[in-house]
Amino acid sequence: MYRIGIDIGGTFTDLVLVDDSGAVSFGKTPSNPEDQSIGVMTGLSMMAERVGLSLDALLAETDRIVHGTTVATNALLERKGARVGLLTTEGHRDVLEMREGLKPERYNLRLPRQAALIPRHLRLGVRERLRHTGEVEVALDTASLDAAIDALKDANVEAVAVCYLHAYANAAHEQATRARLAEKLPDVYVSLSSEVLPHIKEYERVSTTAVNAYVGPVLERYLSQLETRLRDAGYSGPALITLSHGGVTPIVEAIRMAAGTVLSGPAGGLAGARHASDMLDVGQMITFDMGGTSSDISLIVDGEATLSADRSVAGEKIALSSLDIITLGAGGGSIAWANSGGLLEVGPHSAGAVPGPACYGRGGTEATVTDANVALGYLDPSSFLGGSDNLDLAAAHTALDKLGEQLGIEQIAAAEGVFRVVNTQMAEGIRLATVRRGVDPRRFALLGFGGAAGLHVTSLARILDLKRVIVPRVASVLSAWGMLTTDLRYEVTRTRIGEVSDLDRNEVRALFDELQGEAEAAVSGWFDGQIRAERSADMRYGEQIFEIDVDLRELDFAADDLLAKMKTAFEARHEQLYTYALPDREPVLVNARVAAIGELSAPPTEPPIDGGGDVAPMGTRSIYLEKWVDAAIYAFADLKAGQSISGPAIVEADTTTVLLLPGDTAQVTDMGWLDIAVGK
């Protein structure tokens, strides 16, 4: 039987196929921005051909498909989501627009205000009111509700977000509203804040609920279409969707919690990096995923990835639990341009899949990072994607000539400038994830993956003074590979505010037990395998306004010193994140959180490759490193375990290329990965 991981990026759709022996096959096919399912089905046909099967035969022998999608992300970024109406407590319709009272750039007096996701005329107040305890202050007024629903019906909304004040403490009014919507607007997508984010903090709750309603119908159309195409092609197993927290869920749940898919693809990459950390026994790792349109950066600390509930995507707050990932608009397709001062900038705009970089020969005319890499000799135009899609070197030169004229420099200087500028930008992104959080990046190994990362990781390591770089054999498709390492995951949370020392440990224990029962019941409805629970809490010091996620998995909830151990866990986490803790201050519990994990079959393991004897280079090629030099060219797939390669050298695979600079030494691991000691 097979398992298939699928990750749709802005330029390519990546696919990984793993059989029962652990053998991995993978490939890329161009993404289709108009209908991503076309790229998925094309890729599946390609993978079937590679293993010598028809598409229906492959799908008949596949027991799991795990999919990361950018549909919700793109809908939010491009403002192409559903037409949404908001029903909220009377007098609170403008919370979505007031946000938190802060600007993204507080000292930029000319910063234009970002338009609210839901226009004001579609944000309607309903007469009702709950106290923070959940007690009803003003009963839900049916006439007021009906009037608001009728107005939304006249406006032809596709979705309705419902967010009443303090609904996290009592969902009765929101549930009654959903029942009324089902009668009067049976075909609209409904998103309740008491289900999407049953937390204190009104803005986070209404924003997350609005995002969920905005992207939900778009995601529902795509996933329904994809599911139909898979069934028609002969697939009868489960199709699971990767969520922002790194777990997977069935399609029906992904549609219900659509806002949880906005970091679907990057989450797969970090899940793969976490699995790689276990396989390599490298606990401290900076993950660097460079694709066609963006780069994603995160940290693995002591073998674990960090979760956060403080995320904004496209300027919209999404307070759902998600992996802590920093995304930069820097990828292989990022466009290089001269600003008004005549200085070179790269990104954030991308050539994407269509038309793509100029060297793709699909009509692109602007110079991109990929064009620079071709002109510098790092990419072989005749072997791109294994030779199935040759690059147009002349078109790259033409685009770089145009850029050079704007900058007043020669073509090769323009190409080198693009390479250096994008590296500087990505290095700053890594500093943002490390140095600015009090973390010394020099203690970490740099894991490079994504189709474009291999050409840049050794340069980034030098900028940041890192000594070790790791490039997996599956680097170009690690996100899709990583999706096969994940388990089913369902989270439930509940607000319970109080200083830890003032809480009743029996009430705390009962609260977590109740949440665990709810979460496990949900997962048990999806499959009948082993389920485990992970407990955590959102906590802060009393004077702080933002919480941090505190892992409580190691705590004995039956112990008499439970509350003291919660305080200790919080202090350890605070010190890990910010390098200090305040033992004389009492932490505050804000939200209790339990995740139920449905353990799927064993994740893929890279089988060992052959060793014994070094493989000679295929030849040499001139590459530009401040001057033209000859670099040995190696085939990634032919390398032997234990082999050592010294730079300058190029290691080529069908879907990625790795650049070793002078002084670098790459050791080939038993799995065929490159473990690079970075030179000076």
Q: Count other Cβ atoms within 10 Å, centred on residue 672.
A: 21
H/E segment holding residue 77 = helix 71-77
Is the pLDDT at 43 greater than 80? The verdict is: yes
- Give the side-chain half-sphere CA count within 13 A for 535: 20
Nearest to 550 by CA among 562, 537, 541: 537
pLDDT band at 655 (very low <50, low <70, confident <90, very high): confident
Task: Note the pLDDT of residue 385.
Answer: 65
Q: What is the pLDDT of residue 141?
A: 96
Instruction: Give the bridge partners for 611, in sequence order.
Output: 641
Identify the residue whose tokens are 């600003």: 339
Q: Which two tokens stand for residue 407?
A: 């900058």
Structure tokens at 397: 């030169």
Whether residue 6 contacts residue 43, with contact meaning beta carbons closer than 8 Å, is answered with yes
Residue 384 tokens read as 């791109």
Q: How far apart are CA 535 and CA 552, in angstroms?
A: 5
Give CA 511 to chain center in angstroms: 31
Give CA separation, 50 vs 14, 294, 487, in Å. Answer: 14, 29, 27
Give the Cα separation of 577 and 607 in Å (integer): 36
Query: At residue 110, does pLDDT exceed 60?
Result: yes
CB 482 within 8 A of CB 504: no
Collapsed DSSP state (helix, strand, coil) of residue 140: coil
Q: Is it the case that residue 367 has pLDDT exceeding 90?
A: yes
Per the CB < 8 A criterion, the answer to whether 275 and 282 are in contact is no
* Residues ≥6 apart with Cβ < 8 Å to 181: 149, 160, 162, 188, 190
Parallel, antiparallel, or unpaired: how do β-strands 628-635 and 649-652 relate?
parallel
pLDDT value of residue 386? 58
Closest listed residue to residue 118, CA positions, set 211, 187, 257: 211
Q: Could you tell me if 637 and 652 are in contact, meaning their C-beta atoms sit under 8 angstroms apart? A: no
3-state SS, one letter per residue, for 256-303:
HCHHHHCCHHHHHHHHHHHHHHHHHCCCCEEEEEECCCCEEEEEEECC
Of 409-423, 592-606, 661-675, where does mean pLDDT reach its minimum?
592-606
The tokens describing 438, both together, are 């009090």
Q: Does residue 640 contact residue 656 with C-beta atoms inside 8 Å?
A: no
Q: How far is CA 560 from CA 18, 550, 594, in A?
A: 47, 20, 21
Contact 221, 209 (CB under 8 A): no
> CB-based contacts of 674: which residues, under 8 Å, 6+ apart?
469, 470, 471, 645, 651, 658, 666, 667, 668
Asked if 527 and 598 touch (Cβ cutoff 8 Å), the reply is yes
Query: pTM for the complete prediction?
Result: 0.86
What is the distance, to the nearest Å, from the Cα of residue 435 to the centroid of all Cα atoms in its chain? 22
What percentage of the chain reaches a pLDDT higher than 90? 65
3-state secondary structure of 527: coil
Tracing tokens 């106290």 back to the chain, one arrives at 131
How far apart (Å, rounded) are the C-alpha atoms in residues 276 and 490? Answer: 24
- Tens of pLDDT, residue by residue over 440-493, are 899 999 999 988 999 999 999 999 999 999 999 888 888 899 899 889 999 999
Q: Which residue has the higher pLDDT, 78 or 139?
A: 139
DSSP 26-80: EEEEE--TT-HHHHHHHHHHHHHHHTT--HHHHHHTEEEEEEE--HHHHHHHTT-
Read off the pLDDT of residues 404-452 as tens digits, 9 standing for 90 and up. 999 999 999 999 999 999 999 999 999 988 887 778 899 999 999 988 9
The model's pLDDT over 260-299, given as tens digits with 9 standing for 90+, comes to 998 888 888 898 899 899 889 999 999 999 988 788 899 9
What is the DSSP track for 414-474? HHHHHHHHHHHHHHHHHHHHTGGGT--GGGSEEEEESTTGGGTHHHHHHHHT--EEEE-TT
Confidence tier at 644 by pLDDT (50, 70, 90) = very high
CB half-sphere exposure, 383, CA atoms < 13 A? 18
Residue 389: pLDDT band with limits 50, 70, 90:
low
The token pair that represents 61 in the structure block: 């022998």
For 575-594, write each residue's pLDDT tens digit.
Answer: 877 889 999 999 999 999 99
- Cβ 550 vs Cβ 539: under 8 Å: yes
* Residue 274 CB partners (closer than 8 Å, separation 6+): 246, 300, 303, 304, 305, 482, 485
Q: How many residues are given for the chain?
A: 680
The phi and psi torsions of 32 (rounded to 5 degrees) equal: -115, 100
Give the Cα separation of 276 and 450 in Å (integer).
Answer: 14
Locus of tokens 């008004």: 340
Residue 216 has pLDDT above 60, yes or no: yes
What is the per-residue pLDDT across 532-541, written as a single tens digit (0 to 9) for each? 999 999 999 9
Tell me the pLDDT band of 88, cut-offs 50, 70 and 90.
very high
CA atoms within 13 A on the CB side of 109: 0
Tokens of 113: 């205000």
User: Which residues does residue 289 pair with via DSSP β-bridges, in sequence order?
Assistant: 296, 449
Q: What is the mean pLDDT of the chain?
A: 91
Distance CA 24, CA 330 (A): 29
Let me know the angle formed at the C-alpha of 471 by 291 and 243, rounded to the nearest 5 degrees: 50
Q: Do residues 483 and 7 touch, judged by C-beta distance below 8 A?
A: yes
Say what the pLDDT of residue 22 is: 75
* Separation between Cα atoms, residue 665 and residue 673, nearest integer Å: 13
pLDDT given for residue 594 in this prediction: 96
**327: three-class secondary structure by DSSP:** strand
Strand ranges (DSSP E) for 69-138?
84-89, 123-126, 129-130, 136-138
pLDDT at 387: 56
Question: Which residues are bridge partners to 595 per DSSP?
Answer: 491, 534
Give the whole-angstrom CA distance, residue 634 versus residue 642. 15
